[in-house]
Structure 1
Amino acid sequence: MQKILHRFSRWLALALAAALVLGLAGCGDASNSFTWFVEEIPSNLDPQVASAPADVIACKNLYGGLLRLGPDGQLQNDLCESWSVSADGLRYTFTLRDGLTYTAAKGEPTEYAITAEDFVYAFQRVFLPETRSPYAAEFSALENAAAILAGQMDVSALGVSAPDERTVVFTLSQPDDGFLHKLTLPGAMPCDEEFFLGTRGTYGLTASSTLSSGSFYLYNWTSSGLFLWRAADGTRIDSLRLVQNTGAAGQSAEELILNERCSAALDDTAAPTALRSVSYSDTTWCLVFNCEALDSALLRQALSAAALDADYQPDSALYTAAQGLVPDGLTVDGLDYREQAGNAMPSLGDAAGLYRAALAADPALDLAGVTILLPTGSGLISTAEQINSFWQKELSLFFSVEEAEAADFAQRLAEGDYTIALVPVTAESNSVYGLLSQFSPEGLTRYDNPHFAALLDQSLNATGAARCALLAQAEAQLVDDCALLPLFAQQKRLLIADGVEGLVFDPYGPLLDLTYTTRE
């Protein structure tokens, strides 16, 4: 729920990562450090579990995988020295580099070798029910994945094996064109079974229960921040600091960078800037209807049809017309989802006719006291008022408009204490399934539709274009039922200082990978 609501300024799809691999600069520090502000200090460094933005950033830099996106946006060997794919696309074989070992906190060496079995165990953990891994859906093409998730087979039957200490073999039940890219996700990072069991349930929760398999290691982890280090090597960034922005309240993203408080920052304004920037969109502003309070689909469709006729587009370059709930840039198995799914905006017809049909179906329909809720400071009060006035004009419905402070706004949405709201729906991972699956009877809109739920379940057992099609049907069902009405996409940008090269940036999360980052 919180992943939908709580950020108004804040993984770009893997297929577009090359476009966002940047030459970025850290601020003028004496050491080659990079500082990034997080809303919350990382709390879980278990890569098979990590899903919160700060946790994912930390895991991406702390752990190595078989493959990693390089500075040119292309896949690079990471812990493997070579790999091959069978002609039918169902068997992937990786050979690990020789002599790999894990590193403990403070850079202390360990006797734990990184072996092929560690990848087998990591993937088995992803599919164990008690892990509750967010990555199981991404690896649904693995052999027997569906049966394991359904509890029909033991996790040992998963299509991941280790013929010897340096060979990892993945067997798929169906081709997955995006499989190699998925191997860069935190969930695909190795996990040593002996060490994991020895932590007795604290794996990744403390410094002593965390091992590094990447180029960075965990140096310090306190309430003040998480600090990753690696050996100095010329111009290479040697420390990553994930800290909260304390003592600089009110400063803009540009000011924070120019004042050397951080090395790069996300910005959701259109203010002129002398800094380099990269634009992206991860948020769709939607009219959201509480389907418990407004249980008539006809009424929701009437309100949506009238809103579509209103001139609600804000007078700002920050906003562009939405083509659906899912923002541009997200991929499904390497395919551009929005391009595959097309425009998902509903065709509803005559608003007044729909409203008359709703009244005929429920003559006791009572809309007295309905309020349109939106967050204070969104800059969209005029948009809400424009839509409201159109409802008055077309449907003779008289609602009020109410702004609420961020914390109160989020709480009221979470508790279902609203009827209609103007809400920023943010994608915080490169998962269309993850975004759509948050709409449930207990979710933001209290939307309860068995067909919608079935489409999402079916998508878990499909790949490529077939999976895209199922997810597109689910998105269309959600929008056509008018549980929400996408209005416009909000444009954002990453502001960056000068001088550093090789930072891989992915705004969905957001995600930063400094493995190849240097500072001249």
Structure 2
Amino acid sequence: MKQLRFVAALLAAFFVLSLTACGSGSNSFTWFVDSIPANLDPQVASSASDIIACENLYSGLVRRTPDGSLAPELCERWEVSADRLTYTFYLKDGLTYTASKGDPADYAITAEDFVFAFQRMFLPGTNSPYAVEFSALENSAAVLAGQKPASALGVTAAEPLKLVFRLSSPDETFLSKLTLPGAMPCDEAFFDSTRGTYGLTSASTLSSGHFYLYNWTSSGLFLRRAASGSQIDSLRLVENTTSSGQSAEELINNEKCTAALDDSGTPTSLQSVSYSDTTWALLFNCDSIFASTELRQALGSAAASAVEVPGGGLFAEAKGLIPDGLTVDGIDYRQAAGDVRPAFGDPRALYIAARDGGVSPSDFGRISLLLPSGSGLSDTAELINSAWQKEFSLFFSVEEVEPEEFQKRLENGSYTIALAPVQAEGGSVYTALARFSPTGGGLTGYSDALYTTQLSASATATGSTRCSLLAACERQLLEQAVAVPLFTQQKRLLVANGIEGLVFDPFGPVLDVTYATKS
């Protein structure tokens, strides 16, 4: 398990089919996807299955290794200028693309292929999802808007094997972004020869990576490479049609799969790594009696002190509203932001301050604690209610409703207090925090100019600056007890023993078997 790396949040549910079912060798890895990859054009690939296929089919200048570092891939080395605005890469000599079935291709990989790839990315007609990631490139905004030609973009081939990137402002995560599919090379002559079908058929796809395209049908997409010891030499992306009703562990133990997502939390002898994109928190509707910050702090403090992390392996301690393991521009957000849970002080004193500030006993008559049914947290809700009764002589009803109704009531503000899952969809810290802004959904009716300003600034910032702005927003929400994090809900990937070197990010999404082995 030493080499199994997860850059932690959540792909759609997937399972892995039999390693022996297709009879293509002992070192195969089959990954179950929602839909068969449909587009292998790396500059436009956007669905999870398309991205995963591209990550293994193509190689870029650098590649993420199992220990989390960046290693040279198609380049020998690189240099970064003192002002962090110029990156120079020296490509390996003799590199060529590979056609389907492993046939050689008459196209060499040169610096010009990267120039063309990045220019395509910023052409308005390409609609590349990766343009925003490389917005620090010189003249990128003007090229994307059609105000300057693609040749003005800050990417040039100084020599056939020398590639230079020029940035208009430093981007400390620039190197890690070069692992994205959009940064993969594209040969202009081959691209033109495909007449608009680049990456859409086997014949119009060339590999620059360790794997080549072996077969691509309605049954799945199959990648191969030459067998070498214990290396994974076959990757298959297929839809699941045989594993209905079987648990993740059953699939693996019955040799129907190599890995599977699991949320049971039951003990296992398999390799497993936990991650999370969800924090269960108390949410206070600021358009109600809980417009009082002191009242929110009083009840939130008492609840947080009384609640214990539920057992069963599905939950873990929360260090903030954002779970551990999520990244911002390649930076571990929770590590950068730290534990932002505030110390409110004496709950009783805060409650008295709220009463002195105008909160009347009659205002508590219509309060209930809203909870989605089926969450398994009824005991937690009752424990919170008991703590409020003991501390403040307040007792509210617990109202459990179906998840669909629960979500609707959160969205339209039809609640006073809710025990709710706050999710960072796609592993996005920004998305989770934006739900508390008036323009992002107004989850709790909270409105604050400073919060809105900092959140807006984080949308265009990069690296540690963006982390700092998001952390300031998270800290503000918690200090004002708009949301009170209680615990995170855990997910995990179970992996058959003997698989090592898998690079996986549930939020990227990333599934790279380049370094993977099977013993």
- The TM-score normalised by the length of structure 2 is 0.77
Q: Compute the displacement of 1:269 (Å).
A: 3.3
CA distance in 2, matches of 1:448, 1:204: 46
Q: Compute the displacement of 1:252 (Å).
A: 2.1
The letter for the 2-side match of 1:387 is I
SS in 2 for 1:428: helix
Higher alpha-carbon deviation: 253-262 or 362-371: 362-371
Preserved contact between residue 124 and residue 145 of structure 2 (Cα < 8 Å): no
Preserved contact between residue 57 and residue 512 of structure 1 (Cα < 8 Å): yes
The letter for the 1-side match of 2:91 is L
Taking a change above 3 Å as real, the CA distance of residues 293 and 142 of structure 1, as seen in their structure-2 partners, is farther
The letter for the 1-side match of 2:420 is L
Aligned residue number for residue 425 of structure 1 = 423
Taking a change above 3 Å as real, the CA distance of residues 213 and 473 of structure 1, as seen in their structure-2 partners, is same
Q: How does 1:206-245 map to 2 (within 5 A)?
A: 210-221=205-216, 224-245=219-240
Taking a change above 3 Å as real, the CA distance of residues 327 and 494 of structure 1, as seen in their structure-2 partners, is same
- Asked if 1:515 is matched to 2:509, the reply is no
Taking a change above 3 Å as real, the CA distance of residues 109 and 415 of structure 1, as seen in their structure-2 partners, is farther
Aligned residue number for residue 3 of structure 1 = none
CA distance in 2, matches of 1:160, 1:506: 28
Q: Compute the displacement of 1:65 (Å).
A: 0.9
Aligned residues: 495
> How big is each residue's C-alpha offset from its partner over 1:428-458, in whole Å with a ceiling of 9 and x where there is no partner?
34x5446545655344827665543432443
- Asked if 1:380 is matched to 2:374, the reply is no
> How big is each residue's C-alpha offset from its partner over 1:296-346, in whole Å with a ceiling of 9 and x where there is no partner?
474765653453243253134442321112222334456443233222224
CA distance in 1, matches of 2:142, 2:291: 37
Structure 1 residues without counterparts, runs of 5 or longer: 1-10, 15-25
Q: Compute the displacement of 1:265 (Å).
A: 1.9
Q: Compute the displacement of 1:93 (Å).
A: 0.9
CA distance in 2, matches of 1:293, 1:206: 57
> How big is each residue's C-alpha offset from its partner over 1:407-429, in whole Å with a ceiling of 9 and x where there is no partner?
x3796489658633521524634
> How big is each residue's C-alpha offset from its partner over 1:14-56, in whole Å with a ceiling of 9 and x where there is no partner?
9xxxxxxxxxxx9566512102233454455444454554443
> How big is each residue's C-alpha offset from its partner over 1:186-211, in whole Å with a ceiling of 9 and x where there is no partner?
33223455666787877656656654
CA distance in 1, matches of 2:500, 2:224: 18
Aligned residue number for residue 496 of structure 2 = 497
Q: Compute the displacement of 1:273 (Å).
A: 1.8
CA distance in 2, matches of 1:251, 1:329: 28
CA distance in 2, matches of 1:274, 1:171: 50
Preserved contact between residue 140 and residue 462 of structure 1 (Cα < 8 Å): no
Taking a change above 3 Å as real, the CA distance of residues 426 and 432 of structure 1, as seen in their structure-2 partners, is closer
Q: How does 1:109-120 map to 2 (within 5 A)?
A: 110=105, 113-120=108-115
> How big is each residue's C-alpha offset from its partner over 1:203-250, in whole Å with a ceiling of 9 and x where there is no partner?
656656654332223444555543333344454322212334433233
Preserved contact between residue 86 and residue 166 of structure 2 (Cα < 8 Å): yes
- Asked if 1:79 is matched to 2:77, the reply is no
Preserved contact between residue 385 and residue 401 of structure 1 (Cα < 8 Å): no
CA distance in 1, matches of 2:246, 2:82: 55
SS in 2 for 1:241: strand
Residue in structure 2 matching 1:268, options 241, 263, 272: 263
Q: Compute the displacement of 1:256 (Å).
A: 1.0
Preserved contact between residue 265 and residue 495 of structure 1 (Cα < 8 Å): yes
Preserved contact between residue 140 and residue 460 of structure 1 (Cα < 8 Å): no
Higher alpha-carbon deviation: 233-242 or 249-258: 233-242
Taking a change above 3 Å as real, the CA distance of residues 358 and 404 of structure 1, as seen in their structure-2 partners, is farther
Aligned residue number for residue 14 of structure 2 = none
Q: How does 1:80-479 map to 2 (within 5 A)?
A: 80-107=75-102, 110=105, 113-124=108-119, 126=121, 135-136=130-131, 138-144=133-139, 157-192=152-187, 210-221=205-216, 224-288=219-283, 296=291, 298=293, 304-332=300-328, 335-348=331-344, 350=347, 352-353=351-352, 356=355, 360=359, 368=366, 372-374=370-372, 376=374, 378-391=375-388, 394=392, 396=394, 398-404=396-402, 408=404, 412=408, 416=412, 419=415, 420-423=418-421, 425-426=423-424, 428-429=426-427, 432-433=429-430, 436-437=433-434, 440=437, 441-443=439-441, 445=443, 451-459=450-458, 462-479=461-478
CA distance in 2, matches of 1:201, 1:413: 47
CA distance in 2, matches of 1:62, 1:414: 43
Residue in structure 2 matching 1:12, options 6, 30, 38: 6
SS in 1 for 2:400: strand
Preserved contact between residue 301 and residue 354 of structure 1 (Cα < 8 Å): no
The structure having more radius of gyration, on CA atoms, is: 2
Preserved contact between residue 371 and residue 418 of structure 1 (Cα < 8 Å): no
Preserved contact between residue 70 and residue 176 of structure 2 (Cα < 8 Å): yes
CA distance in 2, matches of 1:477, 1:163: 48
The letter for the 2-side match of 1:249 is S
Q: Compute the displacement of 1:183 (Å).
A: 1.7
> How big is each residue's C-alpha offset from its partner over 1:145-194, in whole Å with a ceiling of 9 and x where there is no partner?
57778998776544322223432212234444443223222332234556
CA distance in 2, matches of 1:246, 1:479: 45
Q: Compute the displacement of 1:67 (Å).
A: 0.6
Taking a change above 3 Å as real, the CA distance of residues 328 and 371 of structure 1, as seen in their structure-2 partners, is closer
Higher alpha-carbon deviation: 283-292 or 502-511: 283-292
- The TM-score normalised by the length of structure 1 is 0.77
Taking a change above 3 Å as real, the CA distance of residues 38 and 449 of structure 1, as seen in their structure-2 partners, is farther
Greater length-normalized contact order (CA 8 Å, ≥ 6 residues apart): 1
